[in-house]
A and B are shown apart, each in its own frame.
Chain A
Amino acid sequence: MPRWLHTLLSSWTGRFAVLVVVGIALTAVVSVFWTPFDPMLSDVRGRWAAPSWPHLLGTDGTGRDILSLLMAGARTTAFVAVGAGLVATLVGISLAALGALTVRWVRESIAVLVDILIAFPVLMIAMMISAVWGGSLWVVVFAVGIGFGVSIARVTRPELRRVQQSDFVLAGRASGLTAGQNLARHLLPNVAPVFIVQLSWSMAVAVLAEAGLSYLGFGASLTEASWGTLLADLQRYIGVHPLTVVWPGLAITVTVLGLNLLGDALREATDPTLSRRSAQVHVPEVIA
């Protein structure tokens, strides 16, 4: 077992985080093949069933099984989190590399651009994209991906700059590695810890953003099972059936908590200098 994994699993928050993330991933995979009921199947006679066998979490206003809807919704959540993570990686690495490794005027204009873009809220990006192309899950993926790519770039750029000036990178260049080889072999592995921590937090924001944007009608469509649309759906009957709203909210909260704690635990596990640095807390913006 690698050292970082050992450290990760040594705290109870780390274990909780891994459990949640693995659990959601497994649920998403299982839901492709099996859910207790067809999540989209209405059964008008069986609507608003209380939690009991066989509907463990009850049914909604059209008799759909809430547990099955939640399981299918985990798929949407996983898609958005992974998709946004990939976009954030691409945007973040490109901006950081351009801002750290190129000629001076490019570096400095990228730094200013990143400083400007960072103030642009993710929800504004999402509104802009959906005003143009209409709402879909891709809006969430790109809005969160671009928004967090910028903040990843801001954190990774100085780190990349520091590593680039170190002796082993110079040695690599002296022994004939091209810029690309040097980037892949020496630079990226050394900034990976900072990067992965940010990625974990951006996935947490993606999950919140999916719920919020789907609620506003800019995310998942009504035919897609998603925790956000489920919340919007159940809200209309909140006065009569308040308890049904608890489940999707809990699912979102636990997932976001897991991803946030995973980021915190990964940071502690991969960053040995943490105790010496100032104890900074990441302050994510509210989106959902």
Chain B
Amino acid sequence: MIRYALTRGALLIAGLLVSSAIIFLTLRVFPGDVAQLIAGTQADPQTVEALRESLGLDKPLLAQYTDWIGGILRGDLGTSQLSGASVGAELAEKSRVTVPLGLMALTVALLIAVPFGVASALLRGRAGGTALSIGAQTLAAVPVIWAGMMLVVVFAHWLGWLPAQGFPRTGWATPARAVESLLLPALTIGIVEGAMLMRFVRSATIQAAGEDFVRTAAAKGLTRRQALVRHGIPAVGLSIVTVLGVQIAGIVVGSVVIEQLFTLPGIGRMLVTDVGTRDLVKVQSELLVLTGVVLIIGFLVDLAHHAIDPRQRAEES
């Protein structure tokens, strides 16, 4: 286990380094001068030069890169070129919207995927199973933005149960209103992600039903369904853990689009705004944080998978 954790950890660190290098280098090939962009076209050369120096843009690329990474290791994500505000502080504030949104979306996705996926595997070959499969396949093809718009039409405009967009100015000081405004966004991401995850649960369940240990349990006198539920489903749980990494990446990405649709003051919307205004120092750190979250979750998921799966543990001892 420790050996596995070390090799997998090395891959994580390599991944973080490669991603940071890719992000850094891509944003440096910016056509034109960042300092000129900030100062505006009317600025005189001395001002631009001073600005360039204060931003560290006159240093060699490698020095700029190590400055950035060194800062991040010390917990300093840099400051916005346009407003001068600390990126880390803003990210921390915005994550109070994005993290709950992601957790709620994940819950919705699992609540949809697990029961319906298992049901559609058990009903395979019957009308109900086919209907569930078609439903999942179709929902997985729906663009998240459109799903969100349709939910807004039904639940906000027609039924009037939930707000169509926005987040209370008072934030989590008014928890009921905060949860209310995150409900539709979380439902949107959760339904589409859940439909994709459901297809995976279905095929994992079908596969588990064909495993020797399930057949043995059936031979010992359990009905096929009992054998599947008692011995097959734990194996399904394991494969769900495997795709959870991909799912969480999907939720992170989905939240970028959905926060825009529902005008939620989260990390995704912040990133979209900063890409629009080309606030490159911010974009650089935000992209690294988001990619880092995806990579670290992938690492934790792999470790958990390794720790749970008795076969993988047995292989080592």
Given A112-B11, A231-B146, is A132 in contact with B30 using a C-beta cutoff of 8 Å? Answer: yes
Contact stretch, chosen from A26-34, A162-170, A279-287: A279-287
Cross-chain contact B260 with A286 (CB below 8 angstroms): no
Given A121-B249, A123-B256, A127-B283, is A208 in contact with B291 using a C-beta cutoff of 8 Å? Answer: no
Q: Is A204 an interface residue (CB 8 A)?
A: yes
Contact stretch, chosen from A58-66, A180-188, A212-220: A212-220
Given A120-B19, A128-B23, A279-B207, is A256 in contact with B141 using a C-beta cutoff of 8 Å? Answer: yes
Bound-state CA distance A235–B137 (Å) is 25
With beta carbons under 8 angstroms apart, the residue of A120, A216, A280 that contacts B272 is A216
Cross-chain contact B203 with A280 (CB below 8 angstroms): yes
Bound-state CA distance A238–B298 (Å) is 38
Cross-chain contact A127 with B206 (CB below 8 angstroms): no
Q: Range of interface residues on chain A?
A: 35 or more
Bound-state CA distance A130–B280 (Å) is 11
With beta carbons under 8 angstroms apart, the residue of B145, B252, B283, B287 that contacts A231 is B145
Specify which chain B residues have a CB less than 8 angstroms from the CB of A238 in the assembled complex.
149, 152-153, 157
Interface string of B204-228 (1 = CB under 8 A from A): 0011000000000000000000000
Main secondary structure of the interface of A (DSSP, over half): helix
Specify which chain B residues have a CB less than 8 angstroms from the CB of A284 in the assembled complex.
140, 196
Bound-state CA distance A281–B247 (Å) is 14
Q: What is the count of residue pairs linking A and B with beta-carbon distances less than 8 angstroms? A: 160
Number of B residues, CB within 8 Å of A: 65
Q: Is A2 an interface residue (CB 8 A)?
A: no
Most buried by B among A120, A208, A252: A120
Q: Is A191 an interface residue (CB 8 A)?
A: no
Q: Taking the nearest CB of chain B, how far is it from the CB of A146, in angstroms?
A: 10
Q: Which residue of A lies closest to B158 (CB)?
A: A242
Cross-chain contact B271 with A127 (CB below 8 angstroms): yes
Q: Taking the nearest CB of chain A, how far is it from the CB of B43, in angstroms?
A: 22
Would you list 24 pairs from A and B whose C-beta atoms are within 8 A, ordered by A residue?
A116-B19, A120-B19, A127-B275, A128-B23, A128-B26, A128-B27, A129-B26, A131-B278, A131-B280, A132-B26, A132-B31, A212-B144, A231-B143, A231-B145, A238-B149, A245-B149, A245-B153, A249-B143, A249-B149, A252-B143, A252-B146, A281-B200, A283-B196, A286-B196
Q: Known contacts A131-B275, A288-B143; can you find 16 more A-B pairs with CB under 8 A?
A: A117-B18, A120-B19, A123-B256, A124-B290, A128-B287, A131-B280, A133-B31, A231-B143, A231-B149, A245-B153, A249-B149, A252-B142, A253-B138, A281-B203, A285-B249, A286-B251
Which A residues have a C-beta under 8 Å from some C-beta of B?
Answer: 112-113, 115-117, 119-124, 127-133, 204, 208, 211-212, 215-218, 231, 235, 238-239, 242, 245-246, 248-249, 252-254, 256-257, 260-261, 278-281, 283-288
